[in-house]
């Protein structure tokens, strides 16, 4: 394996590799990853070429065989990280039930923990995990980790506090072996950002949302800060596969995202319908569906209260945060219209807002690329978590930390 000087980890339910990308920047080396979806695993492989990628149902994978393949003794691995599918946990899911088999895939994660017995475990999920089944699922995970030899804790992290220019929350569980207390090793927020908590934030009688402790912190990264150097596109424009940057990097964020990049890929504009172009003409930066004349609204929205669906058909405010990047940049879902171009975000713009570096290329159809970006852990959030974990393990190599 390459990069033997780095902390060794494996990534389960790996997706396109956002978590591994950030952890790599924090000094971890992913030796093995498991991801069931073809295009996701191909993207992971293209961007993590030294990692063994296995594309199959994790329930059919023999953890002992994986450990022998990696030539690791039990207890030698530093970290097992992963995010079991979150649909069943999500506060946005129409039905949340323990009958959904996806809710039990964390047991497969624990099966690998048993086999490898790593120094640390990391599980990420949606905020809705905290309230699912009255908190019983989350408690079951923490209890299971304790039975398997790990002191564990949970916090809900807000991505803008760590340099991510969108309103995204993630539930993070960290478990440490050898009697260490994991609660001391969650990352502290490094930026101020406006917050709106619309989910259960208390667990075990305490507030588990990580909020800034320091008063004087720099402000959040805005959408304009993040993407203003990317090429201008017309609605539906495809253009060259690799495009030139619009400007030189104008801030530290852009410089970091462009490090090592020769040009802009995955940057093609979707073709908006005629009716959406007509609607867009009425929406100012920071505006939304309420700016559209009633006659041009979808029939279902003509009956909506003006206080409802305030992000739908939104044109993002350039100096603000983006809506949470989902698996589609569909204006019917949120504020995904560009602030000064009459189109929706491209895959690359969505990836920038998720803090993927420009050297990270997405494989598959554009629909699949949007899904990969939307389902990912923002790498800069993962960097912050990785740095805290590295400190917990007695190691912090700043050579691997992206300067933000």
- Residue 226, SS3? helix
- Residues 18, 355: Cα–Cα separation, whole Å: 9
- Residues 178, 120: Cα–Cα separation, whole Å: 9
Strand runs (DSSP E) across 146-283, as ranges?
151-158, 169-176, 202-203, 206-207
- Residues 249, 62: Cα–Cα separation, whole Å: 47
Residue that the structure tokens 């952890």 belong to: 23
Is residue 86 annotated as a catalytic residue, yes or no? yes
Task: Name the DSSP letter for residue 337.
Answer: B
Please give, one letter per residue, the 3-state secondary structure of 15-52.
CCCHHHHHHHHCCEEEEEEECCCHHHHHHHHHHCCCCE
- Residues 313, 316: Cα–Cα separation, whole Å: 9
- Residues 11, 88: Cα–Cα separation, whole Å: 21
Which string of DSSP letters, residue by residue, matches 253-313?
A: HHHHHHTT--SB-S-------HHHHHHHTT--TT--GGGS-GGGS-HHHHTS-TTSSTTTT
- Residue 353, SS3? helix
Active site residues: 86
């Amino acid at each position: 394996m390459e990069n033997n000087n780095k902390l060794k980890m494996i990534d389960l339910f790996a997706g396109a590799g956002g978590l591994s990308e950030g952890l790599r920047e924090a000094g971890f080396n992913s030796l093995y990853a498991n991801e069931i979806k073809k295009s996701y695993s191909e993207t992971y492989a293209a961007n993590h070429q030294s990692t063994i990628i296995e594309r199959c149902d994790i329930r059919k994978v023999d953890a002992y065989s994986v450990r022998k393949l990696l030539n690791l003794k039990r207890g030698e691995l530093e970290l097992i990280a992963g995010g079991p599918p979150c649909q069943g946990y999500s506060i946005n899911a129409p039905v949340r039930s323990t009958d959904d088999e996806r809710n039990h895939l964390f047991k497969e994660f624990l099966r690998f923990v048993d086999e490898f017995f790593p120094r640390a475990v990391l599980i990420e999920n949606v905020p809705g995990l905290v309230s699912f089944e009255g908190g019983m699922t989350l408690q079951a995970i923490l209890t299971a980790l304790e039975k398997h030899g790990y002191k564990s804790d949970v916090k809900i992290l807000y991505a803008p506090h760590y340099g991510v220019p969108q309103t995204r929350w993630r539930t993070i569980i960290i478990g440490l072996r050898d009697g260490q207390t994991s609660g001391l090793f969650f990352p502290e927020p490094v930026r101020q950002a406006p917050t709106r908590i619309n989910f259960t934030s208390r667990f075990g009688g305490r507030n588990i949302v990580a909020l800034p402790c320091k008063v004087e912190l720099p402000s959040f990264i805005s959408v304009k800060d993040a993407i203003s150097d990317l090429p201008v596109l017309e609605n539906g424009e495809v253009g060259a596969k690799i495009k030139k940057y619009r400007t030189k990097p104008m801030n530290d964020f852009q410089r970091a995202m462009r490090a090592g990049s020769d040009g802009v890929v995955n940057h093609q504009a979707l073709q908006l319908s005629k009716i959406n172009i007509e609607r867009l003409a009425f929406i100012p930066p920071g505006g939304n569906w309420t700016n559209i004349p009633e006659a041009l609204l979808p029939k279902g929205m003509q009956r909506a209260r003006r206080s409802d669906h305030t992000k739908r058909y939104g044109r993002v405010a350039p100096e603000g945060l983006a809506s949470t990047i989902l698996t589609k940049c569909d204006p019917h879902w949120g504020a995904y219209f560009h602030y000064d171009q009459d189109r929706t975000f491209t895959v690359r713009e969505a990836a920038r807002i998720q803090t993927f570096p420009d050297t990270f290329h997405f494989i598959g159809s554009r629909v699949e690329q949007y899904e990969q970006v939307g389902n990912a852990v923002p790498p800069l959030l993962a960097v912050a978590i990785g740095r805290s974990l590295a400190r917990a393990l007695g190691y912090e190599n700043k050579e691997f930390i992206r300067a933000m």
